Amino acid sequence: MNWVNSVLNLVVPPASLVMLAFSWPARCFIKTCEWLYNNLYTENMENKVVIITGASSGIGEQIAYEYAKRGANLVLVARREHRLRGISENARRMGSGHVIFIAADVVKEDECRRFVSEAVNIFGRVDHLVNTASLGHTFYFEEVADTSVFPHLLDINFWGNVYPTYVALPYLHKSSGRIVINASVENWLPLPRMSLYAAAKAALVNFYETLRFELNDEVGITIATHGWIGSEMTSGKFMLEEGAEMQWKEEREVHVTGGPVEDFARLIVSGACRGDTYVKYPSWYDIFLIYRVFAPNVLNWTFRLLLSTHGARRTSLIGTGRPVFEATSTGRPVSETTGWPLLEGTSTWQPVAGSYTFSQFSPPHPYKPVQ
């Protein structure tokens, strides 16, 4: 049997590439026909019910606006009720007939049952469930001293999608509805300083790929994957929340208008309404998957070469459990990596529903408190 596998190891990869090359024109023709058909018979979302988790910022907020433009009734879910209030008003002005917002934690099953039940009690149905809650990081795994960050990352990125799906599935069956997932290209593309995030996204994508077969298309599943959106992993800023607790957030979480995030949200909603299996932004990242399967060493060498041009190894200490601040002579904390003075506050880290990231210190100007 070993000699059979040895022969197949030599024959199957090049044969598959040749078959792929010859079948590529036919595949493009079929995909074009599917795209034309789906655009002609796209789903009408007027008065349909959409639950969006992680809707208080970023991609979740922009997806809410896209569904609002299509006349859908929205159920916005996140932990920060004050953020949801303003977003719900914006969604109403954009065309949504009815909008309700519910403060809930998606990593708790009982709270997921609460917001799904409330949506069904008010609207009588659920047509789309959109899971966008996500939490990223940019630290090296070996530098983590406090492992309490590990379950937070996995809870939000994995269970924060699974629990709402589990609770909403019976109602999605009744409406022949759809589940939309906000994944990332890191689920298969190896990148440094994102080990736990990439692992959680890989588990998430594999879960929904398996669930797709189990559901047998009775409930649709759209998996949206994105590459680097704007300065998503590098533009974090310290902000003050209630209780003067330091929390690391993306710049785009505070104010998002235009650009890649809005474009990605528009593609997600359009793809979900067309019944697309996948939405990719940008799609050219797929070429790396071929390299990973057939020439992994080439991909590894390329990334090592690109990363080596950035000089000395840098990382974020946020979430690692290592000291981040030191006091100046005036008693004000400063960054250990840049020397910039930072706002006073505790170093307690707490996850907030939505999409945000831990990143490195590169402050272009003094920090300001959130109003």
Helices (H), 186-285: 195-215, 251-254, 259-274
**DSSP characters for 264-278?**
HHHHHHHHHHHT-SE
CB atoms within 10 A of CB 312: 4
Gap between the Cα atoms of 171 and 190, Å rounded: 37
Cβ-contact 247, 239 below 8 angstroms: yes
Cα distances (Å, whole numbers) of residue 79 to 85, 119, 123, 353: 12, 17, 22, 6
Q: What are the tokens at 288? A: 């790396």
Tell me the sheet residues that pair with 128.
50, 178
Any catalytic annotation for residue 285? no
* Helix 109-123 and helix 160-175, axial crossing angle in degrees, nearest 10: 30
Query: How far apart (Å, rounded) are the C-alpha atoms in residues 270 and 287?
Result: 23
Residue in 197, 208, 281, 356 annotated catalytic: 197
Say how far apart CA 311 and CA 61 lie, in whole Å. 36
Cβ(161)–Cβ(181) under 8 Å? Answer: yes
Three-state secondary structure call for residue 20: helix
Q: Name the helix (H) or strand (E) containing 43.
A: none
Phi, psi of 362 (to 5 degrees): -150, 60
Alpha carbon 165 to its chain's center: 15
The count of other CB atoms within 10 Å of the CB of residue 336 is 13
List active site positions: 197
